[in-house]
Amino acid sequence: MFDIHSSESIRYHGTDVPLFNILYMSNKGVLSAKRVAVYHINQDRNLAYGHQVTIASETEPSSGEFPTFISLRIDRVIDVFDTHEEAVQAFEQAETLYADRILQIKSDPGYHGRKQPPKDYSFKVCFTGFTKADKAELTELAEAAGMKVVTSVSASLDFLCCGDNAGWSKMKKANELGVPLVRHGQIRLLIETGELPESYAEAQ
């Protein structure tokens, strides 16, 4: 599905990363067109990791120039396009052009939030702004899924998970280093479904 010889690419942490324009169906049945910079693909787990910008969606506003970290189920990518304009056009006609493919995705037993056993999500995550008990529970959950939990923010961090009392210093440093900020609900759904929700609202 993802051709490593994509005609477009961006620089990410000093490396050229292929950029794709895709039509995607999320675990909650939300159809969207995205531009995704894919920096890692794990075929065994059917997942692609990267940064994305939503350019058209049924429920979410376009995210404009602000990319967010994303984990995608490869089997829910409906199609890949040469340009983002083509992806938007396909999104607008998806119910007609891709009716069979959408039905196939919705008929899959794993569709729409079926919980799965934790898999080896080898991310590096830092939790900040949580009570001692909540942080311990989140740490146990993350480590059971194969994540490495650290206490400081660095450029190698995959994401900073922020609680209600998150300190500005860690959030500021994460922003400066380009580390995505996420909420605990997003982490939980990533482990359960293989997808990281694009927004805090989706994780509620």
Establish if 130 belongs to a structural domain: yes
Band (pLDDT 50/70/90 cuts) for residue 197 is low
Opening angle at CA 49, ends 91 and 128, nearest 5: 115
Establish if 201 belongs to a structural domain: no
End residue of a domain, out of 107, 137, 169: 107
Report yes or no on whether pTM surpasses 0.85: no
CA-CA-CA-CA torsion sign (157, 12, 63, 123): negative
**What local confidence, expressed as pLDDT, does residue 3 receive?**
53
CATH of the domain at 169: 3.40.50.10190
Q: Are 189 and 203 in contact (CB under 8 A)?
A: yes
Establish if 198 belongs to a structural domain: no
Burial 117-134, CB ≥16 within 10 A → b, else e: eeeebebebbbbbbeeee
Q: Are 191 and 112 in contact (CB under 8 A)?
A: no
Establish if 182 belongs to a structural domain: yes
The whole-angstrom separation of Cα 185 and Cα 125 is 14
Report the SS3 class of residue 103.
Answer: helix
Q: Between β-strands 124-128 and 159-162, what pairing exists: parallel, antiparallel or unpaired? A: parallel
pLDDT over 60 (residue 61):
no
Establish if 7 belongs to a structural domain: no
Band (pLDDT 50/70/90 cuts) for residue 110 is low
112-127: average pLDDT = 65
- Same domain? 79 vs 40: yes
Residue count of the chain = 204
Which residues, 6+ apart, have CB-to-CB distance to 137 below 8 Å? none
End residue of a domain, out of 75, 107, 139: 107
Of the segments 18-22, 57-61, 117-121, which one has the largest average pLDDT value?
18-22
Which residues, 6+ apart, have CB-to-CB distance to 202 below 8 Å? 28, 60, 186, 189
Establish if 200 belongs to a structural domain: no
Average pLDDT, the chain: 78
pLDDT tens figures, 66-93: 556 677 788 889 999 988 899 999 999 9
Report the SS3 class of residue 85.
Answer: helix
Ordered strands of the 124-128 beta sheet: 148-150, 124-128, 159-162, 181-182
- Same domain? 60 vs 134: no
22-48: average pLDDT = 80
Task: Identify the domain containing residue 144 by its residue range.
Answer: 124-193
- Same domain? 33 vs 97: yes
Q: How many structural domains does the chain have?
A: 2
- Same domain? 100 vs 145: no
Which residues, 6+ apart, have CB-to-CB distance to 54 below 8 Å? 32, 33, 34, 60, 61, 62, 63, 198
Establish if 115 belongs to a structural domain: no
The encoded tokens of residue 188 equal 């939980």
Band (pLDDT 50/70/90 cuts) for residue 118 is very low
End residue of a domain, out of 48, 72, 107: 107
- Same domain? 91 vs 149: no
pLDDT over 60 (residue 47):
yes
